[in-house]
Amino acid sequence: MSDKFVILFVCTGNTCRSPMAVGALRVLLEKERLGKFEVMSAGSAAAAGFPATLYAIEASKIWDADISKHQSQPLTCPLIEKADLVIGMTPGHVAEIVRICREAGDKTYLLKNFPQPDRDGEGVEDPIGQSLERYNETFLEIGEYLGKSLHEIVRRIDEKTNG
């Protein structure tokens, strides 16, 4: 078990939304809890070793987040088990996380509902194949929800790393 608080973001192909969420949360947490966290991502239908899309990389620069070295990976139970907090981009991702690793139910959330445990609700739309403007909107949407829940994420990091 890691000393760091581990957050896992899940989307479909692991080349757009979840890598952008990793980049955004790193920027937010490096100001708050440097060295006390690890952020990862995976895809429910991802192949291994693909980079983030060029537009995802570009959109992440809005917050000076660098995801250019990202490599996609498929969602697995060992990855889920490593995480202290698992956040899905859509209700379908949340359902898939729990299907793959039943014990993950208590630590799995829908991004737009976190920290509420409700698994139904609005997801973050996949920008794949769309314009840079759409990617920028998606990145800012993800960043907005992470910003709203940052206090709770920091509280959970402190609970694990100080307790």
Backbone phi and psi for residue 8, each to the nearest 5 degrees, phi listed first: -120, 125
Burial class (CB in 10 A: 0-12, 13-18, 19+), 100: middle
**Nearest to residue 39, comparing CAs of 22, 55, 51?**
22
For 16-163, strand residue ranges (E) read 37-43, 85-88, 108-110
* Annotated catalytic residue, options 11, 26, 101, 156: 11
* Annotated catalytic residue, options 17, 84, 101, 156: 17
State how far the Cα of 91 lies from the Cα of 18, in Å rounded to an integer: 14
**Nearest to residue 111, comparing CAs of 7, 43, 9, 6?**
9
| Cα-to-chain-centroid distance, residue 28 | 13
* Annotated catalytic residue, options 33, 101, 102, 126: 126
16 annotated active-site: no
Q: Which residues are catalytic?
A: 11, 17, 126
